[in-house]
């Protein structure tokens, strides 16, 4: 079973399976040597952070739906402060997401 997966992945990379295994082993050894190995704890922390981003985005989506409902029923958004707050939340989450992506690249793709 494992060998079949290796053969498929190696073919996608345009490599012989043995060469692909050697490259994967070298890449892993180099990450460990440099101290940048993918640790389960780091991956778990990143997943938790992504879940939090998803929760915040879902809440923002609810706020946007509320604003849209008011705008559709009245033709305007009466509380500009609410709209500005939602936009600020979106900007903050986008910025935090960019930071998280940079962190993921730094930790997992040395």
- The string of pLDDT tens digits covering residues 17-38 is 899 889 988 888 887 777 665 6
Domain ranges of the chain: 1-37, 39-110
Q: What is the DSSP string of 15-79?
A: S-HHHHHHHHHHHHHHHHHHT----HHHHHHHHHHHHHHHHHHHHHHHHHHHHHHHHHHHSS-S-
pLDDT tens readout for residues 53-93: 888 888 888 888 887 777 777 777 666 777 778 788 888 88
pLDDT digits (tens, 9 = 90+) for 45-55: 888 888 888 88
């Amino acid at each position: 079973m494992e060998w079949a997966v290796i053969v498929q992945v190696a073919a996608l990379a345009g490599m012989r399976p043995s060469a692909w295994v050697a490259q994967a082993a070298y890449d892993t050894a180099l990450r460990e040597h440099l101290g940048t190995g993918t640790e389960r704890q780091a991956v778990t922390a990143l997943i938790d952070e992504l879940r939090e981003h998803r929760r915040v985005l879902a809440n923002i989506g609810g706020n946007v739906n509320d604003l849209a409902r008011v705008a559709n029923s009245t033709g305007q958004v009466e509380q500009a402060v609410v709209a500005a707050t939602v936009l600020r939340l979106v900007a903050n989450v986008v910025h935090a997401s960019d930071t998280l992506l940079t962190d993921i690249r730094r930790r997992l793709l040395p």
